[in-house]
Chain A
Amino acid sequence: MPWATTRMPDTVPPPSEESRRSALQPRNRRVKALSSEDTFGKVFDGNVVKRFGEFLIPYRRQIYMAIASVTIFTFTQISVPLIIRYIVDKALVVGAGGERLLLIAVVGFFFVSLVNYVSNYFQTIVVAKMAERILNDLRGAMYGHLQHVSLAFMDRTQVGRLMSRLQGDVGSLQEFLESSIFAIGDFVLLFGIVFVLLMLDVQLGLLTLSVLPILFIVRVIWLPIARRAFMHARQTNSIVNSALAENINGVRTVQEMGRQGVNFDAFEDKAADNYRAHIRATKLAQVMIPTVDTLTGLAMAIVIVVGGNMVLDKALDLGVMVAFLFYVQRFFDPIRSLTMQYTVSQRAMASGTRIFEVLDVPVEVEDKPDAEDLGVIDGSIEFRNVTFGYVEGLPVLKNISFKVAPGETVALVGPTGSGKTSTMALLHRFYDVWDGQILIGGRDVRDVTQESLGRHIAMVLQEPFLFTGTVFENIRYHCEEASLDEVIRAATAVGANDFIQRLPNGYHTILGQRGVNLSIGQRQLLSFARAIVANASILVLDEATANIDSFTEREIQTALARTLTGRTGVVIAHRLATVRGADRIIVLQDGEIVEQGSHTELIARRGLYHRLHTMNYASFDDAPGDLARLDPAGAT
């Protein structure tokens, strides 16, 4: 994923006042943003570990089992040279009965191998499966949480960044978990070898072990330098990859503008940087190999010279010397893995911080413990002295009151930033009001469950969103009990049946990112059908401002009228035709209701509505803000 690695600046300029790209997107909001995507954090973060621990609790038994198998596995590894030692010293000495002792030792060795096999299998399988499950739990927890966090947070957070947390970060915690358990094995192995060496012969053991601190010091000096080089290499990766991604996405513009040459040169520079960074990282990584080899050779030489002399002097059994030689070969493995663990945990701590950051995003709108189902209602709507905003001290809606009778259609009209979108969002309780009350069917929206609220309110957004799936699935969406007949009836009602039938597979044509693409007008029709299938008593519509040709526009008007039949409607209207079709028009400006009434009444009044109207723009939102604001106080 390109976005997973792209580094973004931490601070973001507030979105433009004119931004109209996403439906219902409130302006001037300020929500705590996610932190940037640094690859490394602290080596150990108590808080992260503690929170992560909560996810481990259900797997306690597996963890104990894993640790037990890791320990047993390590012991079998340590015992192999000891068996060899026994054979060399006991079975192979000249004298009778050698064969029998040898056979016993070999059988013992076989038994150890068996234990090794079983414990090896268990440690790997238990750890791997548990890590997979914990990864799922974590991802599920984050995903579930994101279904309920404040919309303001979702608006300002790119999907890509959330995805990188749901996938990349969860992955690095999984890696951490696996390697931590194996690190326990490494510790056991390290201390086991040290213990056995000293047990076998203190003097030779100490001498041999003297190379350990050297390696340790070398690695401690080397690690930070190498890590910087590795990090740099990784950063150049994401630079190259995001340049590539941008060029792929914008390839048409690149070709139109004839930018290929310039872009290629820029890309070449980035690729060359990437090349150099990787070569440097390689050099640093490889330096360690001869170092470790030299130290291993040194340790072996010590065993050979010192141990060999001791054997010659009969001060040491030959088998012990052989065992020493085998241990020395395995000596550095645990140290290598343990220092690697350092990088893994740094990455994991950073990932953990990011994951828990998501889990900590507050859920602002929650069902009350005693929330009830909305039940059967008449579809009336009332705003009672509602005040609301996104930033403290900056209300977007100021003490708004209005009623919509069942079956009535109300159009909300007003210049950009007047509070139409917020009104619509509050109706569905996407946010909670600061002050006042919103009643649906006579009940405060905060007293009923959000789910039942959703059943009664159908929303058609400005840019209708299609999920990957068939036309049929998209229209019925979550109403899984809806039959194909019902769907066809809904589509026919809004006049979408014709074009759907013309699609390659009719209602079973796959739509969405990887399917057939529909025009905005057609998508709009589908979302009307979706609203009809949902069979809600209230329809909330944010009319598309995007360019729709005259032919489609007429179809949409008809569909809208059909959809509104028998329902209460609240429409954020941009088009003259829609506004005129409404029973009543509410004109908003700067968060206040400045006028309301029928089209004729409002025209007669010669206020803001009249002025917007006479400018004769295709959409009210096109009206330059300054024109709308040139308010000869008398109009209100």
Chain B
Amino acid sequence: MDATPTASPQSSTNSAPSHTATLVGSMEGRYGEGARALIRIVRMACRYPVRFPLAIGTVVAAGVFQLLIPRYLGRAVDNATGMLTQAATVEAQDALWSAAFLVIAVTVLRGLFTLAHNYFGETIGQSLGYELRLAFFEKLQRLSFSYHDRIHSGDLITRGMLDIEGVKRFIETGILRVILLAVLIGVGAWMYMGHDIVLGLLCVSFVPFALWRGMVFRLRVRALWRELQERMSVLTRIMEENLGGTRVVRAFSAQKFEMKKFNEWQQRCLDISLQRADVRYVNTSLMTFSYYIAMALVLWVGGLRVIAGTITVGELTQFLAFMTVLQMPIRQIGMVVSGIARASVSGVRMFEILDIDPAIRDKPDARELVVSEARLAFEDVSFAYDGFAGEHTISHISFAVKAGETLGIVGPPGSGKSTIANLIPRFYDVTDGRITIDGQDIRDVTLDSLRAHVGVVQQDTFLFTTEIRNNVAYGDPWAEQDKVEDATGTAQLHDYVAGLPAAYETMVGERGVSLSGGQRQRLSIARSVLLTPRVMVFDDSTAAIDAGTELRIREALKEVNKTRATVIISHRLSSLMHADEILFLDGGRIVERGGHMELLAKNGRYRALFDLQMGAAKDGAKDAMGDDAHA
């Protein structure tokens, strides 16, 4: 409907919905994508030009040596019966000794090569994990707010933890394990069929059946696994909400209701878990059974041949021992299959994040922001959030404020006040119009320089689990203690902190002291003050601070404010009455603007709000004087 500027290079509106779709999209019908992800992981592994070929070489060697063990065992058996050396027993004894040495040599070599391929596989996996982890971390630090608005933080954390794990295990449990299985089964069959085609075929006869069951098993377990994950996440959420909202539960004496909810979902999870056990164990035991049937056939056919004199007991032993070698891979088929499945799902999820093109980033020719009089200007700015094309949160906003001046913005909830605050440091890009600082479009300068000069004090303060000092000096970790104390002094927080047992070294966060809303806001103010930005935006950041303290903060800021442009967003008029210009916002548009007295004189919305807020205070004052006008 609206003429959304989809052609505009800065606009991310057209690319964003597709991301949303893939982020929440089901895993169904995405095998192609999964396969591409696996190929990409292999390609990444190829970037280790020494270790990767070494890993593959050693895994092949380990398989071949393992296949040689049955051969020498069989020879030893024949030696023992003296069949090959029907001459003197001394020669037979020598042959036994040499067979024994060969067996030791082959097993030791197999062990060493196994060690080598496991080691190389693991180091590649770990290096890959390390790289991915850093890339992931880097990426999510650069992703703009609009992505973080959409992506559930829990989902990002899962990707960073479990999916990286799934990808890095793929090298070992996927690639190398598959090669080993292929060598053992393929080269083994070839080696032993060369000896006796029928027996060799019988030895591996169970493999197609086992593979088929493995595939069936994989498909069914994958479906069940996904279902279980979904049900588990509901159960987890039920538990988390119950424990987090325990007061509500008790306030309504709703324990029975809650237990019913819990039991129902726990039962649902159990149903799937039991089904999964059925599928898994029906298949694994069938696979083992097929193996034993094949062995019975080898015993029978092989036995008949020994009786007929076509092969020796030693050769029969060889075939049987070869089957023993195959027992391990058969047990691992399930593991390998689910490892690959996990890696493909994890890979898709991982690359989905890594491939996001950050909507907000430096232009190739971006310059440093140069600030002289710190003149911040909105020039006919409109903005719509991603996925809400056409529904502008703010429309046609224009204003200018420079060093020494203060702009106030007021308006009912949802009128677009915070949006304005988030546009200034370019947490989002404008949909239309432009924002300039001293005449430079903020999209033409580097993000680093822009954010170094713009400070936003947000409504909600995120505390990091560290000392108060580090929390205050978050933007400048090497700040001197004096500087930190100056900042907290300005924010009227110093006295409180100094009074704590460990003062600035006190831990905050979940396991430390918990700060009240007002204290958190003051800490947030201190954080921004410390960085001495030239444009400072207070986004409703004094709401939980009492009026007296707020006044003291304002006094403390007076001197530095001469060199900086200040934007104050608040719904408390006393916080912004003193501003040089006040914008009254409603529905994303400026409905009134002017100085305080000017606006009062207008007798409009601003005046109504003023009366509403001041009325209560005046009534209070009247009451205090004993005027009993109220029932």
Contact = CB atoms under 8 A, between A and B. Distances in A.
Given A260-B142, A614-B624, A478 B257 contact: yes
B161 A241 contact: yes
B134 interface: yes
Interface in B261-316: 262-263, 266-267, 269-270, 273-274, 277-278, 280-282, 284-286, 288-289, 292-293, 295-296, 299-300, 303-304, 306-307, 313, 316
Contact of B546 (A112, A128, A622): A622
Interface in A590-636: 599-600, 603-604, 610, 613-614, 616-619, 622-623
B293 A258 contact: no
Nearest to A318: B81
Contact of B254 (A114, A139, A454, A604): A454
Given A301-B103, A304-B96, A478-B257, A121 B456 contact: no
Contact of B477 (A13, A262, A287, A552): A262
B368 to A, nearest CB: 14
Interface residues of B, number: 158
A305 interface: yes
B139 to A, nearest CB: 11
Contacts of B77: 308, 318, 321-322, 325
Contact of B130 (A257, A275, A312): A275
A163 B274 contact: no
B516 A106 contact: no
A24 interface: yes
Interface stretch (A383-391, A400-408, A458-466): A458-466
A329 interface: yes
A293 to B, nearest CB: 3
A573 interface: no
B250 A151 contact: yes
A330 B543 CA distance: 72
A279 B613 CA distance: 65
A207 interface: no
Contacts of A554: 612
A116 B292 contact: yes
7 contacts: A91-B307, A158-B511, A247-B140, A248-B157, A264-B138, A311-B81, A325-B73
Interface stretch (A39-47, A129-137, A561-569): A129-137
A8 interface: yes
Given A132-B277, A301-B103, A468-B237, A289 B114 contact: yes
B126 interface: yes
Contact of B514 (A21, A248, A292): A21
Nearest to A243: B137
A308 B85 CA distance: 13
Contact of A20 (B123, B252, B292, B517): B517
A480 interface: yes
Contact of A312 (B82, B256, B281): B82
Name which of A162, A163, A308 has the most chain B CB atoms within 10 A of its CB: A308
Contact of B239 (A166, A241, A519, A623): A166
A450 B516 contact: no
Given A140-B263, A322-B77, A159 B243 contact: yes
Given A322-B77, A461-B251, A113 B296 contact: yes
Given A576-B616, A577-B616, A465 B248 contact: yes
B566 interface: no
Interface stretch (A141-149, A434-442, A485-493): A141-149
A88 B105 CA distance: 27
A279 B288 contact: no
Contacts of A372: none
Nearest to A276: B126
A508 interface: no
A503 interface: no
A547 B547 contact: no
A356 interface: no
Contacts of B129: 275
A577 B620 CA distance: 9
Contacts of B249: 147
Interface string B233-259: 000110111111111111111111111
A290 interface: yes
Contact of A244 (B82, B161, B412, B571): B161
Contacts of B507: 13
A167 interface: yes
Contacts of B455: 256
Contact of B300 (A103, A121, A512): A103
B538 to A, nearest CB: 13
A297 interface: yes
B160 A549 contact: no
Interface stretch (A57-65, A223-231, A266-274, A340-348): A266-274
A163 B628 CA distance: 55
Interface stretch (B173-181, B334-342, B394-402, B457-465): B457-465
Given A99-B307, A308-B93, 12 more contacts: A16-B515, A88-B316, A102-B299, A252-B462, A255-B427, A259-B475, A296-B107, A450-B253, A457-B251, A534-B252, A547-B572, A616-B617
A2 B101 contact: no
A322 B256 CA distance: 65
Interface in B582-631: 609, 612-613, 616-617, 620-621, 623-624, 626, 628, 630
A250 interface: yes
A294 interface: yes
B620 to A, nearest CB: 6
A329 B321 contact: yes
A9 interface: yes
B257 A293 contact: no
A12 interface: yes
Interface stretch (B3-11, B145-153, B187-195): B145-153
Nearest to B477: A262
A557 B416 CA distance: 25
B104 interface: yes
A49 interface: no
Contacts of B89: 312
Given A105-B299, A459-B251, A599-B623, A248 B140 contact: yes
A80 B134 CA distance: 52
A256 B451 contact: yes
Given A117-B285, A121-B282, A271 B263 contact: no
A465 B332 CA distance: 48
B118 interface: yes
B137 A264 contact: yes
Contacts of A252: 145, 148, 427, 458, 462
B448 interface: yes
B527 interface: yes
Nearest to B427: A255
Contact of B624 (A12, A162, A307, A603): A603
A282 B119 contact: yes
Contacts of A257: 474-475, 527, 531
A158 B108 contact: no
A91 B140 CA distance: 70
B110 interface: yes
A362 interface: no
A88 B242 CA distance: 67
Contacts of B99: 304, 308
A451 B300 contact: no
Interface in B77-119: 77, 79-82, 89, 92-93, 96-97, 99-101, 103-108, 110-112, 114-115, 118-119
A461 B514 contact: no
A546 B517 CA distance: 8
A13 B500 CA distance: 11
A87 B73 contact: no
A591 B506 CA distance: 29
A28 interface: no
B250 A430 contact: yes
Given A252-B145, A305-B97, A613 B624 contact: yes
B613 to A, nearest CB: 5
Interface in A7-61: 8-9, 12-13, 15-16, 18-24
